[in-house]
Structure 1
Amino acid sequence: MIKAGIIGSTGYAGQELVRILLQHGEVEIKWYGSRSYIDKKYYDVFRNMFQIVDAKCMDDNMDELASQVDVIFTATPQGLCGNLVNEEILSKVKIIDLSADFRIKDLETYEKWYGIKHGSPQFIDEAVYGLCEINREKIKGARLIANPGCYPTCSTLSIYPLAKEGLIDMNTVIIDAKSGTSGAGRGAKVNNLYCEVNENIKAYGVATHRHTPEIEEQLSYASGQEVKLNFTPHLVPMNRGILITAYANLTREVTYEEVRAIYDSYYKEETFVRVLDQDQTPETRWVEGSNYVDVNFKLDPRTNRVIMMGAMDNLVKGAAGQAVQNMNLLFGFPETKGLMQVPMFP
C-alpha cells in the first residue's frame, strides 16, 4: 500500500483522481489538498463522496506533504507546482504534475505561451513527459512526471505512428479538436455558464492555444524534424470528451492495409489505445468515463491526404487516468491497475 497526496483535489481532474484512486486497491489517499476549501469536508464539496470520503480538505503545503506520502499529484493551474517543487522534496517523494509546468522542454517557449515565469527551470530537463505508450521505460525511473495535456494526448496518439514512420508531410498537419466543458476547469467563468455553452459550438484559442507547442514538440520527437502546425480547438456542449480530426498530406502512395499494419504494430500491445475497424470513426460516447483512446484513419486518394482521428475522455486518459497509469509504472504495479473501468453508456 502506497500513500498519496493530491494538491488541487477539488478541481474536476482532482476529483477524478480521487474517484480512480479510491478504486485502485493499493493506494491510500492521505491528503486532500484544496486552497479554496481548507477544513471543509471533502464530501461537502463533492456529494458523490458522501460516506465514502470523510476527510477534510487541507492546504497546499508540499514540504509537509512530502514527509507523509510516497507520491504527490498536483492537479493545479500552471505555475503552482513549478513554484513549490525543490530538490529536498524530490529526494523524498515522486511528483506527478498534471499542469504544464514541466511538459515543454524549451523554457522560452513555455514562458511565452503560458505568460508566466517558470519557478524551477532547473528540473525541466529531468522531468519525464508522461505519455505512457511512448515513454514507458523513462517513466519507470523518474522522480518528476509531466502528465501530458488532454488535447496533446489525443492528438499525439492519433498521429504518432504515421509521423514516426515518415508517411505524412509534417509541414501540412492540421488538427481540428473538440472538447467538453470540463476541460476548461471548475472555476466560475461567464463563457462556461450553461446559457453560454448550451446549444452552441465555437472555436477558441485560434492560432494561440497553449497546447500547440506541446503537440508540436512531441510530433517533432516522433518525426525527427521541427514541426509547426495549425491547431484549432472547439468547445462543445457536453461534460466530458475530446474528439480530434487531423489532416496531413501523404509522402507516398499507400494502401489501407499498409497503414493499418503500422497502427497495429504500434498499438496492438497497448491496452488503452484501441484501433477501430475499417471505416469506423471514433466517438466520445464510447470512451466516456474510461482510460481508453479510440483511434482510426481514413485515406483520401483524391487529395493525397490521410485523416487521422481520436476520441477519449479528457478527465481520465486526458488527466487523472493517465496520472494513475504513470503512478503504476513508477511503483511497479500492473499498468492497468485501477484503470479498467468499462466506458459508460449512455
Structure 2
Amino acid sequence: MKPLVSILIPSHNAAPWLAQALDSALSQTWPHLEVILVDDGSTDETLTVASQFDCPRLRIVAQRNRGAAAARNCALELAQGEVIQFLDADDLLAPDKIEQQMALVQAHPDCLIAGAWARFRHQPQTAIFTPEPLWQDMDPVDWLVCAWSGHWMMHPAAWLVPRRLIRAAGPWQESLSLNDDGEYFARVILASQGIRFCSAARSYYRSGNGSSLSGRKSAEAWASQYRAISSQCQHLLAAEDSDRTRQVCANLMQRFIYEVFPAVPSLRNLAARQVRQLGGATEKPMGGPCFQLAARWLGWQQARYAQLFINQWGYRRVALGRMVPKPNGEQGKSDDGVPLQEEPQWQES
C-alpha cells in the first residue's frame, strides 16, 4: 500500500479562491490521499463553496476564529497521513506535485522535500518558474543561512513533509500571526537530515490577495513578526552557534528594524539590542534608486520618512502641489495604516 498523504487546508473568508485550491488538491495523481479543510470562523461563503465538493476524500471541519496556525494544528490532529502537504486556501498544486515528491520521500525518509514554485495573481498559467538559490539539495543550517542572507523564501505548499519531522518540530505557534510559517518551517528544517529539491514538483503562490495575513502590518502583526524572528534565531543558534549564524541572525533582526520603521519603536529597540548582542549587522536598507540616493545624503531614517510622506500624499499631489491638510483630529498613520501615536509596549519573553 502506498503511503497516505494528508493535504491540510486552513481557510478564512476564502470563498473567491477556495474552489481552485480544492480542485488542485483533489486532482492529485497520487492515488492515496485525504484532504482536510479546517474553516477558521469564516463569515463569507467559504463553507458553502466547500460543501459543493461531494468527495469522500474531503473532510470539512469548522471552528471558531482562532487563526491560521490553530486551524493547521487542528488539521494535523485529524490527519491520518504518513506525509503532510500544507496548502493555503488561495494557493494551488500542479496535478502531479505530490507524486513527483513522493519518490524522494520514500528514498530519503528523514529529509524535507522542497519543490519549485511561482507567483501568480489570477490564473496559474501566467506563473513563471525562475530558479533560485534555494532550489537545490542542502543541509538544514546551510538552507536557512542562504534563505535569510538572500531574502529568499519557500511558501508552505512547496514542501512535502514526512510525519516524523512534524512530530519532532512540534505544533504551529498559535500566538503568532505574521510569519508563523517562517517560524514553523525553521523548526521543521532543523529537525530534518537535509533538504531534497524536486524541480518537477510545482506549486503556485497567489500574490495580490488583499486579505492575506502577510499583508497585515498592525502593531500586533509586527509583534508577531518580532517573536517569530526571535524564535527562528534561537533555533538556528541552538543548531550552530558560529560567526555565520550569528551574522545572519543579526541581519535578520536589522532587516526587521528597517521594515517596521517608524512604527512601534519599543519593538525596534528590542531588535536593536539583539543586533548588538549578536555582534552587529551588515544588512543595508532596501529601496529603489531614489531611496538609496536620499539615504546617502540624509541617512536611511530621513529617507524613509520622505518615502512615507510621498506614499501618503501620492506622487500626483506632490507633483501638482495640491497639499490638502488632514481633517481636524485625524490620527497620523504610516503607509501601512499603523497609527503613529499611541502604541503598546512590548517586552521580551
TM-score after normalising by structure 1: 0.27
Q: Which has the larger radius of gyration?
A: 2
Between structures 1 and 2, the one with greater helix share: 2
Higher strand share: 1
Identify which of structures 1 and 2 has the higher relative contact order when contacts are C-alpha pairs closer than 8 Å and 6+ apart.
1
Output the TM-score relative to the length of structure 2. Answer: 0.27
